[in-house]
Structure 1
Amino acid sequence: MSLKKKLGLGVASAALGLSLIGGGTYAYFNSVATTNNAFTAGTLNLAASPTTIIDVKNIKPGDWMNRTFKLENNGTLDISKVYLYTNYTVSGPNLKGDDFGKHIIVHFLKNEDKSSILGPSNVIASKTLYELKNMSPDAVKNQSPSFLGIQGGEKSGLDAGTKDNMYVKFEFVDNGKDQNEFQGASLQLEWKFDAQQTAGENK
């Protein structure tokens, strides 16, 4: 066989080998497992009961008002914090520029479930509505005093399916001065409770 024929046969054999490697079929063992997975998010659902905490008429300087309400976690996720935001509007026929909110004081807003025998867990203590507009206290934090490092009452936060009992005392303060401009005045108070989730965790 001539050298030319040998070279041609070698090239043809190499091409056939490459075609078998690139596009040929081969046999193998195989085993497949399939999983079906899901991610379902939980819910934050905070409710205040009743939705109107106070609606009082014909108050005068020196009057005070005690009220109770509940914060309820109706969701499936635990709540770590509930921030309280205060806002109000004032109207009246005799207003001269003073802020009615400076004359309504919250003597206390306490969380009874977080309180201990050593003292109440006060969310708010002796603040006017005017002062509270610039604050955002946590309504479900255990702020009661501790003894030997032991905190009485429930831990901070609000677990799913639980509720906290809240007590509040308002007063229209008698400052001993002329407060006639507030005759017939009305203050519309909005308390917004903003629930926050707990930190992420390994599931």
Structure 2
Amino acid sequence: MSLKKKLGMGVASAALGLALIGGGTYAYFSDTAEATGNFAAGTLQLSTNPTEIINVTNIKPGDTMLRSFDLNNDGSLDIAKILLKTSYTVTDAKGGNTEDFGKHIRVNFLYNGDKVDDVIWNTTLDKLQSLSPDVIAGNIFSPWLGERGGKLAAGTHDKLWVQFEFVDNKEDQNQFQGDSLQLKWTFEGKQGAGVAK
């Protein structure tokens, strides 16, 4: 065997030896494990049925109008608090009104369901429009949804009753003849406090 072949064979043997030694230093037992997680947020979905609670014409002082509507929680989370925002616009048919028509429309909030004989709270539309949502929530929705502790549970609905009254103040109310009032109620559902899961 020539010197070149011996040197080549020696270099190859040394390289193989180093590879085996190097490879041997990384040999060990091993194992793996995986863990996964999933987070799915719940939903709040509040709706009313019907969406138009009242639509009447030809009202006069002393008239009352009893209406009901369903407040639905179509979401997956309980609604712990319901806020109500009131707004309205008045169309003055003759012009020159000295008073707000909303001051003469009283809202009588009645007990939930078939318990329509008791008023839990009443106020006029103009006052209702200026009240803070927390005052309204405490005075209206806690009693209205009383059997559930003021909550609207996920997947449930409640039938709520409200009476509107054109208050007869025993004075001249001629300025309101032909007037109209467009009412908008915006209900907002709020989640409860977070809990350990």
TM-score normalised over the length of structure 1: 0.74
Q: Residue 68 of structure 2 contacts residue 160 of structure 2 at CA under 8 Å; is this kept in 1?
A: yes
Structure 1 residue 196 and structure 2 residue 190: aligned? yes
SS of 2:148's partner is coil
Distance 1:164 1:143, change over 3 A: closer
Q: How many Å apart are 1:181 and its aligned residue?
A: 1.2
Partner of 2:127: 131
Q: Residue 104 of structure 1 contacts residue 171 of structure 1 at CA under 8 Å; is this kept in 2?
A: yes
**Within 5 Å, which residues of 2 pair with 1:36-75?**
36-75=36-75
Q: Which is richer in helix? A: 2
**Within 5 Å, which residues of 2 pair with 1:76-91?**
76-91=76-91
Partner of 1:154: 148
Distance 1:51 1:90 in 2: 20
Distance 1:142 1:45 in 2: 21
TM-score normalised over the length of structure 2: 0.77
SS of 2:169's partner is coil
The one-letter amino acid of 1:130's match is D
Distance 2:110 2:184 in 1: 15
Distance 1:107 1:31, change over 3 A: same
Partner of 2:108: 107
Q: Residue 108 of structure 2 contacts residue 119 of structure 2 at CA under 8 Å; is this kept in 1?
A: no
Q: Percent identity?
A: 49
Partner of 2:16: none
**Within 5 Å, which residues of 2 pair with 1:24-43?**
25-43=25-43
CA RMSD of aligned residues (A): 2.3
Distance 1:47 1:91, change over 3 A: same
Q: Which is richer in strand? A: 1
Q: Residue 92 of structure 1 contacts residue 186 of structure 1 at CA under 8 Å; is this kept in 2?
A: yes
